[in-house]
Structure 1
């Protein structure tokens, strides 16, 4: 599997679209697949803006971008694209039932040698692998948002994942210019998100107890710990809805009460305050969703 040539990315949302472009930039022939043509068109527009801005700012050359675009296709013809796939990265909705159905389809539609990876950080691949006839070729390959910028990729096997599969996933990630964190065994949340969850929960508890404002807690994380963003800013960037659903997914897998979303997260989620994407979360981003300015985030704000 060192000769991966064609990669298929399932799902053209924010993560899937960026993973697709990262793959094409790395030299792989890449199909970005989605059943929604409207979503594919939105992904193309978003990536065009990103690459144009990168060229303008000197982050990439025009020839580098043009070559990547020549290798990247946007298609709703899932079956045809998958028929020649060497490697599949699933970045679809975070729903176990849907993922199991999808992986059963991937197993049926891809060549026998193809590796099937899920980008999910909260649904471990052992819960998906037995929907296929090739559990040894299934793993988690977790990118971080924004995938075009963030260097980390976590490669996570389940008990039946073969070493060949893990090595292939690591090789692909490194070819994409990523720094790989290789886990020895799976655990919900993996490494980075478990570290982040610990920081997030402490930040939420400090704010909930009235120890400091969420703005000052963010300032402490940035100026004392050297973090580029504070925990509340990160929640707004990732999406309060995503944070909420990840915690529910971990609770569903572990049954641990401490895995449940913090009450303050649930409050924002139920109010539809999802962060940057909705214009307001912990902070108020205005109509354009940019330019952080403090805004009341709950009864504490």
Structure 2
């Protein structure tokens, strides 16, 4: 019986979905966010969906606690919980309290993530796993900000519970024993972990790099005037039998988020600067600087009216409505 919770830092679109998965099978979960509004929205989502998820998987829900107090978040859970010994990759009875794992689900901003992790680390038990859900930032970029970088790694979830794959990558300091332990726990929760080989570091994960290239070339086609958003998406949907095209998905993620991720890729990978700088500057000047960020603001690559028409078309085609995660 697990008595220590999984702690989710960030109650946004992706954080609440990760919380939903880990709260099944009687697992306790704590969701921490500095925004009371975000926590209220998160509470509504989990209240509406946790029981249905457990019913469909034949499991039972665990307790979920919501808080804006970081000290409360890091002390929730009973004593005499689990002591994790990653040097030997096994668990044994101990006197820990608080979470056994923290999953950071904050916006894709390195300084924000590192400052948040540095703030919470001293409040955690020494064997607590610290995982970042970042899609483009490597935990090797964050490791120097922690006192114990061996417990830090990337675990990038996509859009659970709909998407069950999780990409797992070392910070280059991560204790080896964490990987067999954590991947087995993920499998127990119905997730499918895909582990980047030890010693391999990648700016972005397997699928994220492929998706980033797709976004980059889509923006280049738009910037050069070769095609329009509706045309690109129509061709994409037709060829891949996809629900949505890259322009619609970028609008859902947020064009400011797309720009921030692309900017970081260009900074860290000079080989893509030549192909990415002009489309990025065009995106900023034409949309982001004007406040046209996509679904969150109204207009983006599509106008609000065009996007609503697309949603109605999806319903007629019986495609399930997909709520995207920030930072995807």
Shorter-chain TM-score category? 0.7 to 0.9
Rounded to whole Å, the distance in 1 between the matches of 2:56 and 2:194 is 31
1:26 Cα deviation after fit: 4.7
1:120 and 2:120 correspond: no
CA RMSD of aligned residues (A): 2.9
1:242 and 2:261 correspond: no
- CA change 1:271–1:4 in 2 (3 A) is farther
Match of 1:277 among 289, 296, 306: 296
Match of 1:220 among 235, 239, 246: 235
Higher-RCO chain (CA-CA 8 Å, sequence separation at least 6): 2
Which runs of 5 or more structure 2 residues have no equivalent in the other structure? 76-97, 313-328
1:152 Cα deviation after fit: 2.3
Q: How many residues align?
A: 283
Rounded to whole Å, the distance in 1 between the matches of 2:269 and 2:25 is 37
1:11 Cα deviation after fit: 1.1
1:160 Cα deviation after fit: 1.4
* Partner SS state of residue 200, structure 1: helix
Which runs of 5 or more structure 1 residues have no equivalent in the other structure? 295-301
Match of 1:292 among 310, 313, 325: 310
1:5 Cα deviation after fit: 4.7
1:158 and 2:171 correspond: yes
Match of 1:140 in 2: 154
1:60 Cα deviation after fit: 5.9
- CA change 1:4–1:183 in 2 (3 A) is farther
- CA change 1:202–1:35 in 2 (3 A) is closer
Match of 1:183 among 181, 189, 196: 196
1:166 Cα deviation after fit: 2.5
Rounded to whole Å, the distance in 1 between the matches of 2:233 and 2:282 is 16
Match of 2:89 in 1: none
- Give per-residue Cα distances to partners, 1:128-173, cap 9 Å, x unaligned: 12222221110011111x3332222111112211222223332343
1:18 and 2:17 correspond: yes
- Give per-residue Cα distances to partners, 1:263-282, cap 9 Å, x unaligned: 34222211222222222222
Match of 2:41 in 1: 42
**Is the contact between residue 122 and residue 189 of structure 1 (CA under 8 Å) also seen in structure 2?**
yes
